[in-house]
Structures are given as C-alpha cells and as structure tokens.
Amino acid sequence: MKKRILSGMRPTGKLHLGHYLGVLANYVKLQDEYDCYFMVADMHALTTKWNESGSIREYRREMALDWLGAGLDPQKSAIFCQSDVPEHAYLFTLLAMITPVSWVERNPTVKEMIRDMDLKDNVNLGLLSYPVLMAADIMVYRAEVVPVGKDQVPHLEFARELARAFNHTYHVNLFPEPQPILNEFQRLSGLDGRRMSKSLGNDIVVSDPPEVTAKRMMTAYTDPLKVRKDDPGHPEAGCVIYQYHKLLQPDTAPEAKTQCEQGCLGCVAHKRSVAAMVSERLVGFQERRAAFAADPQSVDRILVEGREKASVVAAETVRMVREAMGI
C-alpha cells in the first residue's frame, strides 16, 4: 500500500509564483507515489484572520482552483476544506488534554508567526495552540509522511512528539511518527528581494494575465549599479530577475549572465524576457484553472468528494482514539 501524506495551505489569497513552483509542483509529483490528502486549512487561517473571516470562503475557492490548475487530480488525491471535516477539531481537543503548555510556548512556528506578523501581545489562544491543531491535522489521517522544506523540519517534530506521547500514555501503537519528505526547491525571492509574500506586496500572482505579470516584473530589483544598458552588471549580487531566469530557463541563464556583465543586456529587456518566461510556464496552469472556474459546480463536487474520502479515515481514527482514551 502507498504511504499516506497530509499537507495543506492556509487560504489567505491567490497563490503566487513561489507557491506554484515550490509547493504545488511538488504536490503534483507526490500524488502519483503516495495516498495524498490535501487540505485547504481554513481553520488555521482564523488564527491570524479572525477579524477578516469574510474573505476566507472566497479565498479557499481560489486556492482550490489554483490547485486544480496546477494539476492536482481529484481521482488521485483527496482535496478538501479542513473545516468540513469536524474530526480535525475533535482530535485537536483530545490532544490538547495531553499537551504541556511549555511545548507550544517554545514552538518555533508560533514564535515566527508572532514575530513576522508583529502581533506582540495580540496573540489569541487559537494561534498559541496552532501546533496542536497542525498535529491533529496530520494525526487524524495517521499520515506517515509530510512534505516540508528544510526550514520546516523542526516544526514537524512537534507532531512526532505528540504522537509518541499519545502512544506512550495510552499504551497503543495508533499513531505513526510522521517523517518529512524534503522539498529541495529553493525559496523564491519576491520582486524586492525579500521573501515572496502577498502581505509584503512583492509577489507574482500565478492567476494574473500576462500583461499584469509583465507590469509587475518591471518593478523587480536588479543591480543598482547598472544604470544603463552598457554598464557592466553583477547578476549574482541579488538580482531578482537573474534568479528567476536561472529557475525558469537554466540552459540560457549563463549566456544572459555573460551579456549582463559585458554590458550587452539591459535590465528592462531582461525583465521583459523573464516576464515572457513566467507567462509561458503558466499557460497550461491558467488554461486548466479557467476551465474549472467556468464550471463552479465541478469544484464544489470535487471538494465534497474529497471531504467524504477524508471523513472516512478521520472518523475511524477518532473512534480508535476514543477507545484508547476510554471515553
């Protein structure tokens, strides 16, 4: 039997190029090798967007469209919304009973979110207990593997620790300790050189038309010392356009690097060229996405079918947990 995967993303807006080339491309590969459960993590979105919850329903549909456009196949993978499977919240409540407060207070995921979002003292209980809900998401499917980047491996350890604690406390071997599947994709920089993020306003939205992408690309950070075309450039010194070029067309990137260094390639021309590369890469994605968007009922049906598949496994897990705990 195939090993089972659980992974998900918070619906906080349309997905960007970093999501598409990193996370979604990996999802598409994994669905041929594993029993995959892909979750629109709308309950997690409430941990930081509790006061903007009106947009979450729209965002989760947009995310489903992006996933389907990227090539996720509902015949191979369960695609569903977290809140549509109540067992996530039920298992979270039971796991909270055996989770020491010190575990969540020292968790790097929570610390990073509080720091990055500048929440300071405005931290709700949902955010503080985020790692427990994340563990419940994984454990309710008894997932054996979870796709993560290298920087996320420590975050997965919380779920592994909680699985060990449950098995030890109740003398069962119910939960596997989920192992990481490393995604080697290098995090994509945003247009300003920082990490790509909608909140920073430096992203390239993959569902945008080519003319919007081209306009956005004109704002990308390049070598500030290369003022004119014939100035010698330094593409390796933080030039975002060159980074995108290496990723999208690695075979032609060395030539572009040489031309830039010799003053034969201007930044504006290079931006236009790379914008065309991005749009070309996204043609298939946008065609598939548009087809699903034109048939909203098909998306609803896919989410219902994914929920039904997920619910079967989740309900069985909760039944076994209740039996183990004696409730």
Instruction: Determine the average pLDDT of the residues in 168-184.
Output: 94
- Partners of 38 in beta bridges: 7, 79
Can you identify the CATH homologous superfamily of domain 4-188+296-325?
Answer: HUPs (3.40.50.620)
pLDDT at position 137? 98
pLDDT at position 78? 98
Q: Where are the domains of the chain?
A: 4-188+296-325, 198-287
Q: Return the residue matching tokens 């998306």.
A: 299
Concatenate the DSSP letters of all residues of 234-277 into one string: -TTTT-HHHHHHHHH-TTTHHHHHHHHHTT-S-HHHHHHHHHHH
d(CA 309, CA 224): 53
H/E element, 108: helix 108-116
Checking if the pLDDT of 182 tops 90, the result is no
pLDDT above 90: percentage of residues in the chain: 74
d(CA 303, CA 309): 10
pLDDT at position 149? 79
H/E element, 16: none
The answer to whether 70 and 292 are in contact (CB under 8 A) is: no
Q: Return the residue matching tokens 């420590």.
A: 154
CA 258 to chain centre: 35
The answer to whether 9 and 63 are in contact (CB under 8 A) is: yes
Which two three-digit tokens encode residue 19? 């999501």
CATH class of 198-287: mainly alpha
Q: What is the pLDDT of residues 212-229, one digit of tens each?
A: 999 999 999 998 988 899
Q: What is the pLDDT of residues 258-307, one digit of tens each?
A: 999 999 999 999 999 999 999 999 999 999 999 999 999 999 999 999 99
**In angstroms, how far is the first alpha carbon of the chain from the final one?**
31
- Confidence label for 50 from pLDDT (cuts 50, 70 and 90): confident
Instruction: Determine the average pLDDT of the residues in 179-185.
Output: 85
Of 75, 90, 3, 77, the residue nearest 43 (C-alpha): 90
pLDDT at position 154? 77
Highest mean pLDDT among 124-133, 188-197, 269-278: 269-278
Q: What is the mean pLDDT of the chain?
A: 92
